[in-house]
Structure 1
């Protein structure tokens, strides 16, 4: 392999292939160890394989890094990653660090790190891309960026000061919420909490929805009450209800009081249902229109970028009011059916007459069978007065059927689950514990 210099931040998300061209996973970080006098040595890559499991790939197994892809020998141990003492993750732990120039010209923040091959399977850090503090008083001004060799700087550590996570967040900005959640779960606990605190409210809400409940509670405990309430406002009501149910009754009620009244009302309603019922699984934010709405109007509503695909699969038609609990539920119109009619067609004339709603106390098992039997991705939920109160989507049912720790890197995808939820959300206060991923010493020198 010819000598190559690569900036680590550009490796994030790069696909890893075996010699036959089969995809093995994606790079999530680069692992280095510090040396007494020489620049840090690269020991391997942290690679995410299918199932969102993070594994260690020794740098000696890498045969090529070029054009945004990495080729390995194909010999990868799939045991879970565990960071050892003395090892440092470049993206998660080095980016954002403050360094001081050895010549006394000031300090800068590390924005990227270049690694270079010095021999077969021998890689080391050779250069840093750093940004000096801004010199202008303007809020929009940025400091100058410069390249510096490892020996030209030294790291500045201030006891008690958290390391900035801004650069890490920028590096992972393109990750989907589920992938970002998986990446955060694999970070050291202190770093995970630090990064979570610096995420925007809506981004943190999306990530929390993809995390195990114990980590959700842990992160929420680090936020002040006002910030925690803002994040809960951004979450889907059913996910927010699940999270609040894991908190102490006192803090849960306090956060509900701080939330936006409309969001809090939805969450309170969901908390009243047992989790193993349609009411406990449903979301209270389906698309709801009148019978006079047209196909054109319906299609415009499901085109919204922020709408989850399962919620956009069908539109609910009711009498006024059009917020849950609505007026009398009339039926649903599936988006494929709308595509078969002219734009001016009234939705009330093309309702699915064969789909019956379920009641809020219908068991989760029955809801699952209905979705499977009729090849649906959602089913409407009504109260005793036949008013629409929400819809259960297929992802909510999968959340219920999968093992409680399926979001954790330690969960076993082959372990089936026998549902056993008899308490209401309000009673389920104690968080379920999960463990973090572990890795063996395979591939270490």
Structure 2
């Protein structure tokens, strides 16, 4: 390995990982260390790498040839491609040590772990030799002061055993700082690697909008676990912040009693579209659709349409098409007129009315259309988004291709990924 004598884990997290020939493999998401009973510095066992397929795998430190400020490089050789699972004596440095509450040997001071420094030994091993700590605030109100950051040897910090980490309450500030640079799907994958207690602590600290985005990316069992952990009032707030179709999918997995109670706690304007979606089977166009596509009246201009689809919070598939309807423009709308593809919008003058460029020939899906019919519809018309219209020509919503794929893929697709990124095979030995 290159001549590096100290690496702080917070700087390592998120770095790209390359193979020996410069091929991109993934990103560093965490560092795995083995805790010891003698309170000596834990040995760094390896890194958790998130592949492009979202699968997280363990890479032993012996496979790491260099750690630079901009990237990590791996040596030639195979890596176990099975999804990483933490062993009982192991700790995730980012996921579990950051924000941990601890003490100092020979002192009654209480500190919070902010970062950890890896250092190499003569035997080519790496250890967590140092901890960046901050003394916890004392007093109340205006008397609270934030302690200065200090670097301390691991051996001088107490209260970081596995039983300590499992039993004590823990903050999530440092972890949330790292999450700020990650997509919701990557945060969801990180949460799944954490022990249940830590996962709940992070959920408590996360704001509603961000937590809603993350829950949408979790497998169903993890979604239900987090929702059942949250107080009912907050669970209802989270459901309000979710996309209506995702909220409906989650509620459909709950018992009728829980479903009813949460819907009653939601604001009526927020629960109404979710209730409409719950009326349809999950494998129909009505169950797949979102009730919040981009809808314009015929007298809207191309400039207005482009402004709507430029919204950075609008998913790309939904932004691929605007729907033209008579008022009202909330679903279910007035009479559905047709749609305009975003490429057509780009070719027209900004002052042109959308009524003049509306595609009135594209057939619409009925809400009761089964998944197989929806799939054929998208394949036949090469669409990323399609309208769902009832028998009275009211637009009910739109189905996007990502929702179709979500239902076509195996149920555990979020938990598995593709193999053979670095020539490894699943049957190879697990990490030691």
Secondary structure of the residue aligned to 1:280 is: helix
- 2:423 corresponding residue in structure 1: none
Match in the other structure for 1:85: 88
User: Hey, what does 2:25 align to over in structure 1?
Assistant: 24
Q: Specify whether residues 272 and 304 from structure 1 end up closer, same or farther in structure 2 by C-alpha distance, changes over 3 A only.
A: same
Give per-residue Cα distances to partners, 1:76-113, cap 9 Å, x unaligned. Answer: 22122222221111111111111212242612111110
- Which runs of no fewer than 5 residues in structure 1 stay unpaired? 415-437
- Map 1:197-216 onto structure 2 (within 5 A): 197-216=204-223
1:58 Cα shift? Answer: 0.9
With 12-21 and 225-234 compared, the bigger mean Cα shift is at: 12-21
Q: Which SS does the other structure have where 2:383 is aligned?
A: coil
Using the size of structure 1 for normalisation, the TM-score is 0.89
| From 383, 403, 410, the counterpart of 1:396 | 403
Per the alignment, residue 69 of structure 2 pairs with 67
How many Å separate the matches in 2 of 1:368 and 1:413?
27
Distance in 2 of aligned mates of 1:2 and 1:152: 27
Aligned residues: 420
Q: Is the 8 A contact 1:100 1:107 kept in 2?
A: yes
Structure-2 separation of matches of 1:407 and 1:356: 32
Kept in 2, the 8 Å contact 1:26–1:48? The answer is yes
Residue in 2 aligned with 1:44?
Answer: 46
Distance verdict in 2 for CA 1:274–1:308, change over 3 Å: same
Task: Please say if residues 82 and 440 of structure 1, whose CA atoms lie closer than 8 Å, have aligned partners that are also in contact.
Answer: no
**Partner SS, residue 128 of structure 1:** strand
| Counterpart selection for 1:232 from 230, 239, 250 | 239
Match of 1:337 in 2: 344
Partner in structure 1 of residue 199 of structure 2: 192
Q: Deviations over 1:275-302 (max 9, x none)?
A: 1211111000011111000011111111
The reply on whether 1:107 has 2:142 as its aligned counterpart is: no
Q: Show the counterpart of 1:425.
A: none
- Sort the Cα spacing of 1:159 and 1:343 in 2 relative to 1 into closer, same or farther, 3 A: closer
Match of 2:150 among 138, 146, 169: 146
Partner of 2:383: 376
Q: 2:138, 2:144 within 8 Å by CA — same for their partners in 1?
A: no
**Counterparts of residues 123-202 of structure 1 (less than 5 Å):** 123-134=126-137, 137-138=141-142, 142-155=146-159, 157=164, 160-202=167-209
Query: Could you tell me which of 116, 121, 144 is aligned with 2:119?
Result: 116
Distance 1:140 1:305 in 2: 39
> Structure 1 residue 123: deviation in Å?
0.7
State the alpha-carbon separation in 1 of the partners of residues 371 and 142 from structure 2: 56
The equivalent position to 2:101 in structure 1, one of 98, 105, 112, is 98
- In the TM superposition, what is the alpha-carbon distance from 1:24 to its structure 2 partner? 1.8
Gaps of 5+ in 2: 421-425
When you count helix as a share of all residues, which structure comes out higher? 2
User: Which residue matches 1:8?
Assistant: 9
Aligned to 2:34: 33
